[in-house]
Amino acid sequence: MSSEKELAIVRLSRAVYAGLLIFYPGDLRHKFGAEMADVFQAVMRDAIVERGPAGMISLWRCALWELLTVAMPLRLASNAVMAGAISFLASSVLVLVFFRAVT
């Protein structure tokens, strides 16, 4: 992969990750959000250099897993909309399971 393409992928990944930080509680996001995005960018750059696309996919998989297992529960614990959010997550899981079974 060319270094310009790698740099563009790293920048785009950082921007998307920074956008996903909205799912973390506000106080955590305001205190550590910029640092989290910076670390993600550095790790993404290393992952692409060392492992190419497989490294990028692996890092995104970990980031999305953390979003589901850490950020969302923290966010839900701090909001009064827990029932609606749990319903949405359960529905999403059911849809994913359905599509996976069909394909």
What residues does each domain of the chain span?
Answer: 3-102
Q: Residue 72's pLDDT is what?
A: 83
Would the pTM of this model clear 0.75, i.e. be above it? no
Question: Residue 70: what residue type?
Answer: V
Within a 10 A sphere around the Cβ of 96, how many other Cβ atoms?
A: 10
pLDDT tens profile 48-63: 999 999 999 999 999 9
